[in-house]
Amino acid sequence: MSKIASHLPRWQIASRFASMWRASGHADLDDQELKSRAAHLAARLPMLYLIFALTALLVVYAFYGSASMIQTVVAPSIYISICLMRARYWSNSAVLARDEAVLRKDISRLQYVGPGVIVFAITWIVSLYPGASVFQQGVVHYVVGVMITSGMLTLIDTPRTALLGGLAAATPFCAVLLIFGDLDHAMIALCQVAVTALLSFIAVRYYEDLGQMLKSSRKLRERQIRIEENAADLKVLSTTDPLTGILNRRAILALAEENIADQANAEPWLALLDLDGFKQINDTYGHPVGDEVLQLVANRIRTAQGIDHCGRIGGDEFAFLISGEKTQAQTVAIAERLADSIAAPVEINGICITPRASIGLRKTERMSLGECLERADFALFKAKVSDVAVALFDKAQEQELLFKTRVASDFKDADLEEELDIEFQPIIDFDTRQILSLEALARWKRKDSSVVMPGIFIDLAETTGRICEITDCMISKAIAFASEWPNPVGVHINLSPHDLMREELASFISSTLDATAFPASRVTFEVTETTLITKPEEALSAITSIRALGCRVALDDFGTGFSSLAYLDRFPFDQVKLDREFARKFGVGTTSAAIASTVFELCQKLRMDCTVEGIECFEQAVLARNMGMRRMQGYYFAKPLKHDAVCAMLANGEWHEDFPEEAAKRSAG
Ligand code: C2E
Ligand code: CA
Ligand code: CA
């Protein structure tokens, strides 16, 4: 004892005891640690109380008959009953049934209850000691020794209780031994004190080790929690679209796939939503405004009624799911309400913007996600081209999609030189009735003799990279045909945005013209504004080199896209073709006519020709003429014609003897 003490400075022993004493109050245990401490106690305390009860029976056996009834029956009965009750109280099932608050109280109460029980037992046992026989004294020594040792070791992880219990047992026992005043009893007392002290050290050491373990297990648990939190954050990050805060492409598609696969639920409706003219918003007002529009739209989808899940799957494309419980009519109504809500004007940075959306819907009946997406996308495309907010994929579309898929696969291997055909649509002078020029329109005649219109295969050619092949083919063929036409009838050839990006275009045109000796001045190339927006420098350079050859350049479909009047000033066009939308709306309100007439006046000022496309009836032609326009194109004059028909028409020298209405009037008259 003194050796141990000499190794440890006194203050250190004292401070370790003190810190153990403070720490073993259990006040700082969190709920989980408290539960595990209670579970430990439940695994051991009932055994300890059984040991106490058993040793009490030994004492009764040793003293029964030689001591009073109170000492051999009443006191042990009370003591054994208390032990059994406490054993039951600390049984595993009883502990499990108690909540954290009760357990906290129980553990804290144990430091008084345990020593209390021991004080009772020791008082009883020690009262038997004076006058006991050698055997009886031996039993008392044994029982007290067992009580102290088993008690302190069992309660080692609640050391305050262990020490109090040890003291409660050792102090009265040693006091009684010392009262005898002889060396034998004094030696036993001394040994008992030493054993109790050493057990106390063991308890302190153990408790310190336990503290370390507790610390590291806490750290581990904290790290585990942090990892779980990070994992949760990562999951949110990996499934969220950072700009809009709704699900990203991967997440919404995974969710859609899950919903489709879930047999328990009715198959949901899959909707694809695309903003109309978003690119123009971005290009005109800048990306910050575009971003705000996207956030606004995402928010309107997220808060729309009847929509289960939504996500952003691309730049301005969104996908959402509507429960399969909804009928077709209900689903369409939900989508239409959403489209209406998106179209509510909003002011961003002082600019009033009216976002518009098209929505394609498809029920996910027994389809893979890919098939379903393809169909919803097709319905979306239908919504866009038919100028409605919402379109549903139906049986007719299924046929069309099948056709398109087949066409797409055939197109990859098509021999364009052989299969590409041309029709020509006249552009006439309304006053002189002469054909000024003819627009070459591509037709793809498939091997089975079916004809595919450019509306289908030009897009395919653009996405599969065959568009320049088509252009070259069209330039060669159109100029070859046009060489057979009388001077000065011209030819219009369409260029795609890709064509304006390639440097060899001008030299190809030049060599084709040289080969046929066709005058460059009779060739007009039509370009759309798409390239002017995305690659203005390249577009300008291509237009300039085409014009340098002596060819003309027309801005096609003016009025469909963003149609900035600034383009007319910025790019050296020879002609503007007013999109057929204008002609369609002539006579319906005044806006369309007013814009058309303004553009026409501007063209005159800038010395550009102006052609109005899509004239379908006499009234539209007259309205256009009243605005001052003479160059016209449209089904009213002629649909696209085969080259033979063009030659026959040109042989007449004039486009038509009469306008159909005039001829009809004359024959009626
Ligand atoms: P576009 O350049 O605007 O050509 C005019 C289209 O409008 C033609 O359709 C023509 O048939 C149609 N059209 C003419 N008059 C009327 C009318 O009065 N009413 C209506 N509703 N439509 C009329 P088409 O031949 O189907 O061509 C569609 C588009 O395909 C063309 O529009 C053009 O953008 C593109 N395209 C055609 N051929 C070529 C080509 O060789 N190269 C490129 N890059 N694109 C081409
Ligand atoms: Ca055109
Ligand atoms: Ca056009």
- Of 133, 129, 160, 155, whose CA–CA distance to 143 is shortest? 129
CA 169 to chain centre: 68
- The residue contributing the CA closest to ligand 1 atom 10 is 640
517 Rama sector, left if φ>0, alpha if ψ -120 to 50, beta otherwise:
left
Probe ligand 1: pick from 481, 494, 582, max atoms within 8 Å of CB? 494
**What's the CA-to-centroid distance between 338 and ligand 1, angstroms?**
33
Dump strand ranges (E) for 155-283.
269-276
- Of 519, 533, 460, 525, whose CA–CA distance to 488 is shortest? 519
**What's the CA-to-centroid distance between 362 and ligand 1, angstroms?**
30
Higher pLDDT, 286 or 643: 643
**What's the CA-to-centroid distance between 386 and ligand 3, angstroms?**
17
Instruction: Find out whether the beta carbon of 442 lies less than 6 Å from any atom of ligand 1.
Output: yes
DSSP for 285-328, written as a single string:
H-HHHHHHHHHHHHHHHHTSTT--EEEE-SSSEEEEEE-TTS-H
Tell me, what amino acid is at 72?
A: T
Q: Which atom of ligand 1 is nearest to the CA of 583?
A: 18
**What's the CA-to-centroid distance between 525 and ligand 2, angstroms?**
9
**Crossing angle of helices 31-63/134-154, nearest 10°?**
170
Residue with tokens 């595990």: 36
Q: Assess whether pLDDT exceeds 80 at residue 461.
A: yes
Peptide bond into 488 cis (omega under 30): yes
Angle (nearest 5°) at CA 420 between 405 and 462: 55
- Exposure of 355 by Cβ count < 10 A (0-12 exposed, 13-18 middle, 19+ buried)? buried
Q: Which atom of ligand 1 is nearest to the CA of 613?
A: 15
State pLDDT tens for residues 193-239: 898 888 888 877 887 787 788 788 888 888 999 999 888 888 888 89
Structure tokens at 181: 């005043």
Mean pLDDT of 280-304: 92
Structure tokens at 438: 């003819």
Instruction: Find out whether the beta carbon of 454 lies less than 6 Å from any atom of ligand 1.
Output: yes
Kindly identify the ligand whose nearest atom is closest to the C-alpha of 455: 1
Residue with tokens 């379109």: 391
State pLDDT tens for residues 69-90: 999 999 999 999 999 999 999 9
Instruction: Find out whether the beta carbon of 641 lies less than 6 Å from any atom of ligand 1.
Output: no
Q: Assess whether pLDDT exceeds 70 at residue 653.
A: no
CA 421 to chain centre: 46
Instruction: Find out whether the beta carbon of 472 lies less than 6 Å from any atom of ligand 1.
Output: no
Q: Which atom of ligand 1 is nearest to the CA of 496?
A: 44
- The residue contributing the CA closest to ligand 1 atom 22 is 614
Higher pLDDT, 430 or 660: 430
Q: pLDDT category, 299, cuts 50, 70, 90?
A: very high
Kindly identify the ligand whose nearest atom is closest to the C-alpha of 641: 1
State pLDDT tens for residues 537-591: 999 999 999 999 999 999 999 987 666 788 888 899 999 999 998 888 887 777 7
Kindly identify the ligand whose nearest atom is closest to the C-alpha of 525: 2
**pLDDT for 532:** 84
**What's the CA-to-centroid distance between 574 and ligand 2, angstroms?**
14
- The residue contributing the CA closest to ligand 1 atom 15 is 634
Reported pTM: 0.56
Q: Assess whether pLDDT exceeds 80 at residue 5.
A: no
- Exposure of 38 by Cβ count < 10 A (0-12 exposed, 13-18 middle, 19+ buried)? buried
Instruction: Find out whether the beta carbon of 528 lies less than 6 Å from any atom of ligand 1.
Output: no
Residue with tokens 């549903």: 392
Q: Assess whether pLDDT exceeds 70 at residue 391.
A: yes
Q: pLDDT category, 468, cuts 50, 70, 90?
A: very high
- The residue contributing the CA closest to ligand 1 atom 34 is 494
Q: Assess whether pLDDT exceeds 90 at residue 26.
A: no
